[in-house]
Amino acid sequence: MPAAPRHPRPTQDRRRQPSKAEAASQHKAGRPPGPPSTIVNLRIPVDLLAQLDRYIDQLEVQTGLKANRGMIARRALALFLETRATDAVAPHLTVVE
């Protein structure tokens, strides 16, 4: 005896499937507005990810705005690179005794 299908298809009242254009207009997907971007996969230690999640929760409570891992990681990377660029340009002061 064959196994019952996991998702049985309805036999009565078959409705017309929406066209791709109709389905696309109902759900917004794709890249966010702004400068061109790409996806980067990143392996992060679990404890660092937990720390990031705690920070996001704290930020959402403080500001009342929703945040996600991607937006925080993008901002953190941008600030890191910005500070590294200014460190490279700034002359190093040597203390003379």
Domain that holds residue 72: 44-89
Q: At what angle do helices 69-89 and 46-63 cross, to 10 degrees?
A: 100
- The answer to the question of residue 59 being in a domain is yes
Q: Measured between alpha carbons, how far is 49 from 51 in angstroms, rounded to an integer? A: 5
Total number of domains in the chain: 1
pLDDT 10s digits, 4-45: 666 666 666 566 666 666 655 565 666 678 888 888 999 999
Six token digits for residue 91: 């002359």
**Per-residue pLDDT tens for 72-95?**
999 999 999 999 988 776 555 555
Q: Is residue 66 part of a domain?
A: yes
pLDDT in tens, 46-82: 999 999 999 999 999 999 999 999 999 999 999 999 9
Residue 76 covered by a domain: yes
